[in-house]
Amino acid sequence: MSTESAPQFISIHGHQVAYRAAGDGSAILLIHGIAGSSTTWARALPLLANNHSVVAPDLLGHGESAKPRGDYSLGAYASGIRDLMTALGHERATIVGHSLGGGIAMQFAYQFPERCERLVLVASGGLGKEVAPLLKAISLPGAEYVLPVILRRELNGVVSRVVRAIGRVGVKPDPFLAEVLESWTRLTDARAQRAFVHTIRSVIDIAGQRVSARDRLYLASEVPTMIVWGDRDGIIPVEHAHIGHELMPGSRLEIFNGVGHFLPVQEPERFVALLEDFIATTEPARVSEARWREILTTAS
């Protein structure tokens, strides 16, 4: 596979899917969060590509992928990941998900256990109810009419001027701030706003996260699982990491002190070293259909 991590494109079910791919070796699939894109992994991907074949897609409705009027549920996203892996020739992979991507990763492992070698959840959704108030507000009726007023295309020019001004004085933009600014500019497109609202509403309502994986976390006993979180996460509280760890038998828990929600952006080198260690010290899962049936039918 090419070592180039610039966006590539493929048509799946008639929709353009953008992805970044690099490296050779065992496969790693990186899934970003809401309002994100494959650029969430821009600093981690080339490091992982030294030893692995790495794929980081732009989910439908995000980044440079198509933004159709369609299904933005976790199940649909998981199926889309399966289809992309198939199209690119990857039968199995270590599945890594950040934020919403963590929920998609868990759904993928549930729907397609035979394709999931390991599961890595980074500040993941789906492990508890609590979430940032802003995301709950966006789930309310009428949000789709408010966003175009707040997130106007002129914002792109403002952000570009701010970044250029910072660069001229020799200051390197903070990675966290850069990711937040880029997320804002992605949402100045009407189609992206529509997909954003639909995605939010598929997993969140005014009471918080409404999709939970807790009743199925026992299934993770069959797949090596690692949970990674920042103790200063203001989007999804770090308490969810401890809940997930308790409910996922044999899982590994790693907390990054002083780090917020965008852990792969803020601490890419440390994150990559941790992921490499996890892969090196675990055997890839091989869950047969018979074993999956046995687990499902004997669970209390």
Residue 157 resides in a domain: no
Of 1 and 7, more confident: 7
Residue 47 has pLDDT above 70, yes or no: yes
Q: Which pLDDT value is given to residue 170?
A: 53
Residue 267 has pLDDT above 90, yes or no: yes
Looking at the structure of the chain, the number of domains it has is 1
- Span between the terminal Cα atoms of the chain, in Å: 44
Residue 166 resides in a domain: no
Residue 153 resides in a domain: no
Calculate mean pLDDT across residues 164-182.
Answer: 53
- Show the tokens assigned to 105: 């990763």
Residue 136 has pLDDT above 70, yes or no: yes
Residue 200 resides in a domain: no
Least confidently predicted of 44-48, 84-88, 171-175, 265-269: 171-175
Q: Which pLDDT value is given to residue 287?
A: 84
Residue 140 resides in a domain: no
> Mind listing the pLDDT tens digit for each residue in 203-249?
999 999 998 888 888 888 889 999 999 999 999 999 999 999 999 98
Residue 263 has pLDDT above 50, yes or no: yes
Of 290 and 281, more confident: 281
Q: Which pLDDT value is given to residue 249?
A: 87
Q: Which pLDDT value is given to residue 180?
A: 56
Among 140, 150, 98, 145, smallest CA distance to 259 is for: 98
Mean pLDDT of the chain: 87
Q: Which pLDDT value is given to residue 2?
A: 39
In which domain, by residue range, is 26 found? Answer: 8-129+211-298
Reply yes or no on whether 233 is catalytic: yes
In the chain, % of residues over pLDDT 70: 85
Among 257, 195, 146, 260, smallest CA distance to 37 is for: 195
Record the pTM. Answer: 0.88
Alpha helices in the chain (DSSP H): 45-48, 74-88, 100-111, 133-138, 143-150, 154-168, 175-186, 190-203, 239-247, 263-266, 268-280, 289-298
Residue 95 resides in a domain: yes
Reply yes or no on whether 231 is catalytic: no
Reply yes or no on whether 124 is catalytic: no
How distant is the alpha carbon of residue 44 from its chain centre? 13
Confidence band for 171, pLDDT divided at 50, 70 and 90: very low
Point out the catalytic residue in the list 38, 99, 124, 251.
Answer: 99
CATH code, domain with 217? 3.40.50.1820
Do 84 and 106 touch, CB atoms closer than 8 A? Answer: no
Confidence band for 265, pLDDT divided at 50, 70 and 90: very high
> Mind listing the pLDDT tens digit for each residue in 74-95?
999 999 999 999 999 999 999 9
Phi, psi for 253 (deg, rounded to 5)? -115, 130
DSSP labels, 272-295: HHHHHHHHHTSPPP---HHHHHHH
Residue 72 resides in a domain: yes
Residue 131 has pLDDT above 90, yes or no: yes
Residue 5 has pLDDT above 60, yes or no: yes
Q: Which pLDDT value is given to residue 163?
A: 44
Point out the catalytic residue in the list 32, 233, 245, 251.
Answer: 233
Residue 174 has pLDDT above 80, yes or no: no
Residue 176 resides in a domain: no
Q: Which pLDDT value is given to residue 154?
A: 54
Residue 155 has pLDDT above 60, yes or no: no
Confidence band for 1, pLDDT divided at 50, 70 and 90: very low
Whether the CA torsion 71, 109, 203, 41 is positive or negative: it is: negative
